Structure 1
């Protein structure tokens, strides 16, 4: 479904991604794990055409999207939930969800999708007329995911969904990610909470300073002594 081959990304003289290759099959949850600055977010930004690719290719559903304009990516069914939520603070919860559906042509089906989001995140139903900037961090994360779901994505890119959230909220977010995947959406997850990420993933890639240093079955990586020592606090 998504194939990244020999990808290189620079920020000025900084070589952020160094010949990385990643593959995501339809229906999978794939995690990218690594410390701050490892290149995880840069990978998602490159996929979404928010970071310029120096060399290498990104293929989605058989189409080369390496140089595609960022504004055209969501209409292909490839949608990102950015790090830090990036909700529209001065708009209401409902208006944020409306904006998530801006690429949709089937406006007659939107009512059912609002209901789907509200069932996943009941607090958003209660807060739908409230300014999004007044929500708690956890509620904002729910809104960011809900906004992405309104576009009916085939694949969801999630950038640090647990960042800054209380453990109970983190569990709720990850339970919802699994639920979204089971309903047919492929997921590429960037996450510093390696334990949580690996526990729900099929496979994972570990990045260090812009390079993939290890990859494989998520459960096997959880039992790998080097991974345990470096990322799982063991």
Structure 2
């Protein structure tokens, strides 16, 4: 198991954002967390990235307890995140944003770095076309591509994707999810947080439903897509 989350509880002040959350992510797979707004999905990812302190429980990455590690050390170990809302640096160019994603790396003049940059430009040809353009002048879809590309520049073993389809046109949503599958097929493990449950479950090997800070259902993507309660709550179906 590449990632193991055990009994994770996190507070915002006196408010319990997630409680007793446990799940694992196998190396080489796509796992997804689905749920309504406020369910605790983004809090979970921020906690895995080290941006939120753990009240109870622990996080283990590739056999190492990282519960109290800094975000920078987690990136060095191989965990990278594309945040909700994209978080691009608007005054920087596409290339400068991508270089920021690799800030912990010491090999920026190496062949490996050039290969990773080429990988990002192959996955997202639009970024190559816009390499010298400032991020703030790009469309929402282009900024989403940039946020994902920036996360990949850290050469992660596990990439955390927070609402990659948010605010995008349907055609672009299909493209983003196809790229997520390709990223995984190239060997990067993916933990995906998504409100577009239909697309997330279609792509995921394993899936978990978060409701008010707790995991209430787990299974394969196919199993949860066929679950009547999940259909009714998240897929527009009837129980």
- Output the TM-score relative to the length of structure 1: 0.98
Q: Is 1:198–2:195 an aligned residue pair?
A: no
Once the two structures are superposed, residues 70-94 of structure 1 have per-residue CA deviations (whole angstroms, 9 ceiling, x without a partner) of: 1221111100100000011000001
Q: Secondary structure at the match of 1:103?
A: coil
Q: Does 1:17 align with 2:18?
A: yes
Q: How far does residue 106 in structure 1 lie from its aligned partner after superposition? A: 2.7
The whole-number CA distance in structure 2 between the counterparts of 1:177 and 1:192 is: 15
Alpha-carbon displacement from aligned partner over 1:28-52 (angstroms, at most 9, x marks no partner): 1000000000000010011111111
Q: Do the aligned residues in 1 keep the contact of 2:78 with 2:158 (CA within 8 Å)? A: yes
Where 1:18 maps in the other structure, the secondary structure is strand
The Cα offsets for residues 131-151 of structure 1, whole Å up to 9 and x where unpaired, read as 101000000000011111111
Distance 1:104 1:195 in 2: 36
Mapping 1:1-234, distance limit 5 Å: 1-107=2-108, 108=110, 109-234=112-237
When the two structures are aligned, how many residues end up with a matched partner? 234
Counterpart secondary structure, 2:55:
strand
Structure 1 ranges of 4+ moved more than 2 A: none
CA distance in 1, matches of 2:50, 2:104: 17
Q: CA deviation at 1:105?
A: 2.5
Distance in structure 2 (CA, Å) of the matches to 1:33 and 1:230: 11
Q: TM-score, normalised by structure 2?
A: 0.96
CA RMSD of aligned residues (A): 0.8
Farther-moved stretch of structure 1 (106-115 vs 95-104): 106-115
How far apart, in 1, do the equivalents of 2:80 and 2:114 lie?
A: 20
Equivalent pair of 2:79/2:160 in contact (CA under 8 Å): yes
Cα distance in 2 for partners of 1:142, 1:158 equals 11
